Structure formats: structure tokens, C-alpha cells
Chains A and B, each alone.
Chain A
Amino acid sequence: MKTLIALITIAWVSLIGVLIAISTIILPLAQGIESSLAAGLLRVALSLALFAVWLVWLFELAFYASLMSRRGRGEQK
């Protein structure tokens, strides 16, 4: 249960981190581009890429949490 609470907390903190990164890095990055279409596409593409990284990060967390718990019980095969 503690593992899952920790997992949800890390997922939430990292989501907040993604939002901060979008706000402070990705959106200002596109401000220098003259074409509004290109700037818009860049913002959306980078934001979605960051979100995809967040999803992959969640699975990795769960997988290693599961592995560590089994090692603790001596059931690692």
C-alpha cells in the first residue's frame, strides 16, 4: 500500500513537473518563431512528447516497485 501511495505521489509530482516544464521551457521556446503555425505545432509536439515520457516513466516506476517487493519476499526467480 505504501508503494502505491508513493507511486501515485511520484506520478503527481512528475505531472506537476511536466506542467512546469511546458510553462517555463516549451512555451517560451516557441515564442521566437515567426510563423504562428510552426510555433503552434512545435508547442503541441513538444508538450505531447513530454507527456509520453511521463507515461513511460509511470510504467517503469510500477515495474521496479513490483520487482523490489518480490526481492524483499525472497521470491525472485
Chain B
Amino acid sequence: MYVSGQVFLILLAFLVSWALTGVITKHVRSARLMGVDVHKPDRPRIPKIGGLAFTASYSAAMLLNWLMGGGVVELVLVVSPLIAAAIGFLEDVRELNPVVKPLLLLLPGIPVLLLSAYNPYPVIPLVGGIRITLLYPLLVLAAYTVVANAVNSVDVLNGSLVLSTLPVLLLLAAVSWLMGGETPALASLALGASLLGFLRYNWYPARVFSGNVGSNLVAAVITTVAITARIEVITLVALLPHILNEFFIIVSMGGLKSGKAFAARPIRVVRGMIVSSPRLGDPITLVRLITLQNPMGEASVSKRMALLSTYSSILALITYLLGGVRLR
């Protein structure tokens, strides 16, 4: 596709996301679709399905891209994220069992496997090409559930989902493009533009949350881009803050459990400031570690999450550049 066509799709994604997020913010009032912003003194109730807006804008842009002569890669970049978003929406309207949820999140990987949109010979930086034809399909399935939980675990503050994933999406777009993956690069930029449109309403003080529908879509796009552009290890490095956060939570809570089932919280809100919990046994999270030394406002914590994500994305770029080095 011509560059002008790609720019049109990216602009379309931004505008549709902006407009639809505004509609959701103003018109969604059903109690089931509202969530409490627990970090504000007055604990306002706001719509929690804002992710539907950027799911629609991203899907529309990538569907148009597929209709204009796309193949298997273009198709899975629409279908897999949509399956993940549908599972997220299901969780937004009814609580899912914390063991069933990771199993359901294996489903977005199935179109990738059925349509053979993967290459079981990944190129690992410093190692080179390896052949894992039996293991790779299992890793594809597992990747969706791991990344979905990791991305979901940072969607805890106003703007944190967008700010912590934008640097990763820009990195993925650049590296995909450098490796000749035009469509994965377009998908990353279309999602980035959609998230910017959503940020207008999600930035502090937020008037809408993304919900699981939004975080699952973001995670599934990142995973599908990593698989189709063959940049798995580079994506792993870019997502280090997200993966570390998920890992801290799982280990400090003793397994896959719903956060709602625990009285212990990693942070407290004191006079509008986020304060790290002083208790040893409380869960360890990224936000808790960021606020360990000093209490901070919610927006400041989100900006620091963006800084960490930018730093890990730079490390991912260095990892990509190391890809030219072969030790064997």
C-alpha cells in the first residue's frame, strides 16, 4: 500500500477513536458498565468500556487494509485482537474465574496457528535462527495469555495503559518496518493513533476507563505484531516493565488469583497522593515500587511508567542492533 494510504488509515484510527470515546463517555450510564475510580477522594463512577472505542477504530483501519488486497498476516492482525477484546468485554460485564481467564486468553492464538501466520524458526539475537517447530505453536498460545495479563496489570491508573504502551508500539513499528514487515508496522501505528484519541478522555482526571476490552486488544496487537514480524525477543525486552509487574504480582500473591479477593493492597491513597504500602506482606507492584521513596500524584506515577517503558524500548532497540552479532 502507498504511504498516503497508510497515513489515511492511521488518521482514520485516531479520529474514530476520539469520536467514539466521546460518545461512550457521555452516553454509557448502565451500572454494569461503570467502574469506580478508587484513587480519587470522591470515588466517582465512570464508564469502564472505553476500550471499545479504540477496538472499533483499530479494527476498522486494519479491516480496510485487509480489504485492499491483504493476505494472512493482515487478516490475523484483525481477527486475533478482536477475539482478545471480546474476552475482555465478557470480563467487563461479568467476573471471570481467575483460572478460566488465562485459559480463554489462549484463544486469540488459534487463528495464528490455523492460518499458519507464524514462522517456527525464530531469530534470537546473539544466538541466530533456531528450529522449534513443535514448541513454537505452544509458545504462540501462551504468549497471548502472558502478554494480556502483563498489559492488564499496568492498567491501574488514569492514562497508565496508553503511556506505558505507546513507546512499545513506536518501537515495534520502527523495528517491524526495518525488517520489512510493513503490515505489522501499520498495525502498531494504527493502534498508537487510536490510543492517542482515547487518551483525550482517559488522562487524569479520567472520564472513562479502557476496561479489559481495551487492555486485551492492546496486548493481542502487540503479540500478533511480535509473531508476524518475527521480533519476539525484542518485544519481550520492550515489555520488561509490564512482565516484571505481572510476575511480581503472581509471586507475591502466591499464584493466579483475583486482586478483588485480597484485602491487602500494594498502595494507599492519602490526601489524593499515592503512597506505597509499608507492610511487608502486601503485593509488590510497579506502582508500589515507583512510590516507595515518596508519595506521588496519580498523573506523576503514570508519567514515570511511561519513562520506564521508554527506557525498556531503548534497550529493545539495542537488542535489535545486537541481532547482527553472531557468537557461533
Residues of B within 8 A of A58 (CB): 244, 247
Check A69 against B293 for contact (C-beta < 8 Å). Answer: yes
Residues of B within 8 A of A69 (CB): 289, 292-293
By the criterion CB–CB under 8 Å, are A23 and B289 in contact? no
Contact A8 B327 (CB under 8 A): no
- B326 nearest CB across to chain A (Å): 8
B251 touches A19 (CB 8 A): no
> Which of B21-29, B92-100, B119-127 lies at the interface?
B119-127
Q: Which residues of B contact A3 (CB under 8 A)?
A: 289, 292
Closest 8 CB pairs between A and B?
A: A69-B292, A19-B126, A23-B327, A75-B278, A23-B127, A12-B315, A59-B251, A62-B248
Across-interface contacts of B293 in A (CB, < 8 A):
1, 69, 72-73
B126 to A16, Cβ gap below 8 A? yes
Using CB atoms and an 8 Å cutoff, list the residues of chain B in contact with chain A: 124-128, 131-132, 135, 233, 236-237, 240-241, 244, 247-248, 251-252, 278-280, 284, 286, 288-290, 292-293, 304, 307-308, 311-312, 315, 319, 322, 327-328
In the complex, chain A residues 52-75 whose Cβ is within 8 Å of any chain B Cβ? 55, 58-59, 62-63, 65-67, 69-70, 72-73, 75
Bound-state Cα–Cα, A73 to B251, Å: 24
Residue of A24, A44, A65 touching B135 (CB-CB under 8 A)? A44
Complex: how many Å from CA A59 to CA B244? 8
Task: For residue A76, give the distance in angstroms from its CB to the closest CB of chain B.
Answer: 8
Contact B327 A24, beta carbon cutoff 8 Å: yes
- Residue among B126, B312, B327 facing the most chain A CB atoms (10 A cut-off): B126
25 interchain pairs, CB-CB under 8 A: A1-B307, A4-B241, A4-B290, A4-B308, A5-B308, A8-B311, A12-B315, A15-B236, A16-B126, A16-B322, A19-B124, A19-B126, A19-B127, A20-B327, A23-B126, A23-B328, A58-B247, A62-B244, A62-B289, A65-B289, A66-B289, A67-B280, A72-B293, A77-B279, A77-B280
Let me know if A8 and B247 touch, CB within 8 A. Answer: no
A65 neighbours in B (Cβ, 8 Å): 289
- Interchain CA distance A37-B169 in the complex, whole Å: 38
Main secondary structure of the interface of A (DSSP, over half): helix
* Pair A59/B247 contact, Cβ less than 8 Å: yes
CB distance from B139 to the nearest CB of A (A): 10
Whether A12 lies near B289 (C-beta < 8 A) is no
CA distance in complex: A16, B237 (Å)? 10
Beyond the given pairs A1-B293, A20-B327, A70-B278, 17 more chain A to chain B contacts, judged by CB atoms under 8 angstroms and listed by A's residue number, are A1-B304, A3-B292, A4-B290, A8-B240, A8-B241, A8-B311, A8-B312, A9-B315, A12-B312, A22-B124, A24-B327, A27-B328, A55-B247, A59-B247, A67-B280, A69-B293, A73-B292
A-B contacts counted at CB < 8 A amount to 90
Please give the residue numbers on chain A whose beta carbons come within 8 Å of chain B beta carbons, in ascending order: 1, 3-5, 7-9, 11-12, 15-16, 19-20, 22-24, 27-28, 40, 44, 55, 58-59, 62-63, 65-67, 69-70, 72-73, 75, 77
A63–B323 alpha-carbon span in the complex (Å): 31
Q: Please, which residue of chain B has its CB at the minimum distance from the CB of A19?
A: B126
Nearest-CB distance from A44 to chain B (Å)? 6
Q: Which residues of A contact B288 (CB under 8 A)?
A: 66
Given contacts A1-B290, A23-B127, A24-B327, A16 and B319 within 8 Å (CB-CB): yes
B244 touches A44 (CB 8 A): no
Distance of A24 Cα from B289 Cα, bound (Å): 35
**CA of A18 to CA of B96, assembled, Å:** 36
The smallest C-beta distance from A41 to any residue of chain B, in angstroms, reads 10
Indicate if the CB atoms of B284 and A66 lie closer than 8 Å. Answer: yes
Most buried by B among A4, A40, A65, A73: A4
